[in-house]
Amino acid sequence: MKCIYSFILFSFLFSQTSTLSLTGFGEYINTHDASSVGIGDSKYFNGYSDRVNFSSCSSYWKSSFSNLIMSIDVHNYSLESDNLVSNNFKMLSFSFPVGNNKAVSLGMNPLLRSNITVSELDYVFIPTQNSPTGNPLAYNTDYSFKGGVSEFFVLYSSKLTEKVSFGFKWSKLFGSSEYKYLLNLYNVSFDSSENISYDFNNMESFINNQTYSSDKYNIEFRCDFKKYEFILGYSQSNPLNINFTPYFDTLGNLNTENYYINDNLYERDFGLKYKLNENFGFIYENHFYNSFNSYDFLNILNNSVNNIKSNHLGIYSIDYKKPNSKINKSILRLGVYQKVYNLNSYEIQDSGLTLGLGINYFNTKNFIDISFKFGNKNFTNNIYNDENYYQIILSIVSGEKWFVNEREK
C-alpha cells in the first residue's frame, strides 16, 4: 500500500510532457477514465449502464455502491529524434450513495499540465569591442517550464425522473509552476588553425515562481430515452488569481506580485449515444473549450491556446457472461477523434484512434478498464514536425456496500 501511495504522489507531481507544454498553461486534461477514452476519447460515455463515468458528474448516481476510483496512464511522445515517456496520475476519487439514485463524490485530478525543457544548441557570438571583459564571448540559453493547475472537486449526482438525471460539480483550482531561464556564458578562443572552442564561464539564472487559485463550476443534464441518450454540459471558472514571485541570482527573491486573468475558462459539451441493442451501441460528442489567457511570463514562446474544438465517434460491444461467473460482463471499444487547437498564430490538428477493453467482475461491484490511444499532432505553420504519440490508460473502480441501506436493496 505504501508503494501505491508513493507512485500516485510521484505521478501527480511530474506530469504531462508534450509540445502543448509550450503553449500557455500547457495541455488541458478533461478526460480521466479509460472506459471513455477507449470509445473515441469520449467524456460522457463508456458503454456501461451501471458504472460511473469519471468525467461526467451526471453519471455517479448509477452505482448503488461506495466506490474508490483511480486512474493512471503512461504517455509516449515522438517528435523528430526525441522520444519522451511520462507516467501520470489522472484521477483519485471516492463516491458514495446518499439516497435512492443519488450520490456524492469528492476527489482530485490535474487540469492543466506542463513539463518541458528547451535548450539552445547554437551560440550567439559577442565580439571583443562589445564584450564587458574585453575578450570575445558567446552565450546560449535554456528554458524550462513545469507545473500547472489541478482541481479538488465535490459533486452531487441525482436521477430526477425516469428519463432525466442531473449532476453538479464544484472544483477548487490550485497549483504552482516554475518558469526558469538560464543564460550560459562561454569564453571563446581560437587555435592555430582558427578552430573555435567554447569554455564555460558563468551561468545566470532567472526564475519565475507562480501559484494559482480559482473556482470552477460544472452542470450536466442527461436524458435517456432507451434507444437514445443525450447529454448537455457546461462548465466555467472564476477569474484565475496568480501570485508571481521573480528570482534573480544577483538579487534573490523580489516582491510577490498579484495578477488576475479575467478571460474565464469555460467549456460547452454535447453527447449522443445510440443503443442498437443490448450488446451494441454508437456514440458522438462535440466539445468547445475556451482557455485562460496567458501572461508572457508564463509562456516560453508567447503563444497561448485560445480555444479547442473537438469531435468524437465511437462504438462498443458488450459480452454478458453466464450467471454465477466471476466475470459479469466484458466490453470492447473502438473510436476516433479530431481536435483543433486554435493558437494566436497557428493551429494544431490532433487526430487519433482509440481501443479499449473493460471487465466487470465480482457481483457487478468492481470494474477494471484499459485503453490505448494513438494520435498525431500536425502544426499548420510547420514550426515543428508532426508529433506522434500513444497513451495507455488504466482505470479501476472498487465498490463496497459502505453507506448503503440494506433495506433499500
- Work out how many domains the chain is built from and give that number: 1
Q: DSSP character for 251?
A: T
Name every residue whose Cβ is closer than 8 Å to that of residue 371 and which is 6 or more positions away in sequence.
34, 35, 37, 38, 333, 354, 355, 356, 357, 392, 393
Q: What is the pLDDT of residues 94-128, one digit of tens each?
A: 999 999 999 999 999 998 887 777 777 788 888 88
Q: What three-state secondary structure class fits 10?
A: helix
The reported pLDDT for the residue numbered 156 is 98
Q: DSSP character for 296?
A: G
> What are 228's three cell numbers?
437514445
Q: Does residue 357 lie within any of the structural domains?
A: no
Neighbours of 192 (CB within 10 A): 5
Q: Does residue 367 lie within any of the structural domains?
A: no
> What stretches in the chain show pLDDT beneath 50?
1-16, 406-409
Q: Does residue 222 lie within any of the structural domains?
A: yes
The reported pLDDT for the residue numbered 8 is 31
Q: Does residue 356 lie within any of the structural domains?
A: no
- CA dist 1 and 408 (Å) reads 33
CATH number, position 319: 2.40.160
Name every residue whose Cβ is closer than 8 Å to that of residue 139 and which is 6 or more positions away in sequence.
123, 124, 126, 183, 184, 185, 186
Side chain identity, residue 294: S
Neighbours of 296 (CB within 10 A): 8
Q: Does residue 193 lie within any of the structural domains?
A: yes
The reported pLDDT for the residue numbered 296 is 63
Domain limits for position 120:
2-351+373-408
Under 8 Å between Cβ of 379 and 406: no
Under 8 Å between Cβ of 390 and 371: no
The reported pLDDT for the residue numbered 5 is 30
Under 8 Å between Cβ of 46 and 320: no
